[in-house]
Structure 1
Amino acid sequence: MAQFLHHHLNSRLSAQVWAQSITAPWPVRAPNHGFMLVADAVIVGVYLAFYSDRLIGGRCERFCNLGGWCVLPEYRLQSVRLLKAILAQEGYHFTDLSPSGNVIPINLRFHFHHLDTTLVAVPNLPWLSRRGRISSDPRDLERMTGADREVYRDHRRAPAAGHVVVSSGAESCYVVFRRDRPKNLPLFASLVHVSRPDVFRPMFRPFTGHLLTRYGIPATLVETRIAGHRPRASIPVRTARRKMFRSEYLRPEQIDYLYSELVCVPF
């Protein structure tokens, strides 16, 4: 499967990186890693899936995140069989956080809904913080408590996840980001998770400075639903990117981007 994805979906990622990315680093009893189309004992199509168990509203909810979907041209008429196989699994909420343009109408036919992906871009400048602390040191991240530390431990080996703890006084916020590559240019960080938007907001500028000085990333893409605010001096970004979910009863505000392809696959 990893060789197929390397050759036909994203050759920038080696087969070894694909193999590492396919297996989620968090503990979960996953029924599979997705589904394959096979013709004459040869893989001709793949649809990846990432599974997780999440505690939402005091109840354990099972998620299936749809990952990379790639089918050879001569077998494209069979593509939807892979999607149907994934959705036929009972008891899951489904997310698709990186659907391509032609996948979106297919998802809508299968009762997926859009999430709000209002997006802005912010230049990362060397801001310094005089009232808090920002760190990517694993020792500081391990000192987090409660849900933040649990989420960090689940994601610390995720290939596409970057980790930052933002502290202000006695309060702290755990931030997960990924490098984003529009037009294959690694110029942006995208926010995946912000545990405490109230703590994050006044520390946002120093946080972007940390991304610049620590990681060499010149700009940040911010979804306002993740950050909890629209940063000052931000530039609206028109984007065809969509994020979608399908659930019988969960609300959009209960859907996040953790435990997904976004943290596992450094595409």
Structure 2
Amino acid sequence: MESQAPPVSDGLRPIPDGGLDEAIPVLRRGFPDRDRRFWERGFARLGAARRSGPLGYLLRSRGEDVGVLLTFRSERLGREGRTATVNLAGWYVAPGHRWQAPMMLRRVVTERETVFTDLTPSTSVERLNTALGFETCNEGRVVTFLPPWAALPSPSGAGVVGLNHPAAAQVAEGDLLERHEALGCVAAVLREGDRVSPLLFRVAPRMGIRHANLIYADSRQGVLANRAAIARFLVARGVLALTVDGDRADCPRGSLFRTGRCRFRKGGLDRDRIDYAFSELVLLDLDT
């Protein structure tokens, strides 16, 4: 007589490796405009980038999966050692079970010494994020049309180079840059005198032109202050516009500020730093 697998108990459980067939039907109910191929591609990209932690969590009630939360975990190497970062992505709870949503999120974000991000929350989730200790990272976006800036000199003499330049070897985040370049991002290094810093852009067509979103930088103020150098690097690659998440006060003359989607972060908030590495914006290839 064949033994049967024990029934899955109700509650919150990690999505196991190879558990896509369990997660994708719930994701498709929550995001009907995304087909199965979209999620399979996203999980494949996540598998190539992921090194630890669960893919996410499923919420089960009365023998049925009624909720899902994807958790894209990665690590950063900083002055005080390695820090875990978890990007919350693809969150959905069925209408009749939304009362369980706060419990679901609260249980996931309790890890100490871990940074949590939510980059594409709905309006209702924004309120829940705030109640759970998340803070907003920006008020909107700074948009720059790059060709005019590419013709200007850099006031500080700064320059931007690709990863094949010897200066790239001086950047501590070299592995992060290389892995994102393999995922289709544009990786670069900003040189200001003896100082080097990493840059990551996600490039996608928008309104008929190639547009870059800043995905990773030590300082968004530093990026905006060096628009001329960055413009020359990006325009040479066919990119004509740059978007940097920021506050209205960050927007310098010659750029346009637009209110838009706020990003949320819990733990280690530095409003000048942009860090969407290994997030849904990259792994799910979202243009938002």
Identity across matched positions, percent: 21
Secondary structure, aligned partner of 1:102: helix
**Residue equivalent to 2:253:** 232
What is the TM-score when the length of structure 2 is the normalising length?
0.70
1 CA distance for matches of 2:219 and 2:128? 35
Larger mean Cα displacement after TM superposition, 18-27 or 99-108: 18-27
8 Å contact from structure 2 (residues 138, 271) kept in 1: no
2 CA distance for matches of 1:115 and 1:64? 16
1:1-267 paired onto structure 2 within 5 Å: 1=20, 3-4=24-25, 5=27, 8-9=30-31, 10-11=33-34, 14-23=38-47, 25=49, 27=51, 29-30=52-53, 32-38=54-60, 43-125=65-147, 127-128=150-151, 134-136=160-162, 138-140=163-165, 143-158=168-183, 161-167=185-191, 171-179=195-203, 188-195=211-218, 200=223, 203-214=226-237, 216-224=238-246, 230-239=251-260, 241-247=261-267, 250-253=268-271, 256-257=274-275, 258-267=277-286
C-alpha spacing 1:46/1:55, structure 2 compared with 1 (3 Å): same
**Structure 1 alignment gaps of length 5 or more:** none
1 CA distance for matches of 2:205 and 2:129? 24
CA-CA distance at 1:74 after TM superposition? 4.4
C-alpha spacing 1:46/1:162, structure 2 compared with 1 (3 Å): farther
1 CA distance for matches of 2:121 and 2:205? 16
CA-CA distance at 1:93 after TM superposition? 2.9
**Structure 2 alignment gaps of length 5 or more:** 1-19
CA-CA distance at 1:96 after TM superposition? 1.7
1 CA distance for matches of 2:167 and 2:43? 27
2 CA distance for matches of 1:140 and 1:111? 41
2 CA distance for matches of 1:47 and 1:149? 30
Letter in 1 for 2:216: H
CA-CA distance at 1:146 after TM superposition? 3.6
Whose radius of gyration is greater, 1 or 2?
2
Secondary structure, aligned partner of 2:49: coil
Aligned residues: 256
1 CA distance for matches of 2:28 and 2:107? 23
8 Å contact from structure 1 (residues 66, 96) kept in 2: yes
Secondary structure, aligned partner of 1:111: coil
2 CA distance for matches of 1:60 and 1:45? 31
Secondary structure, aligned partner of 1:144: helix
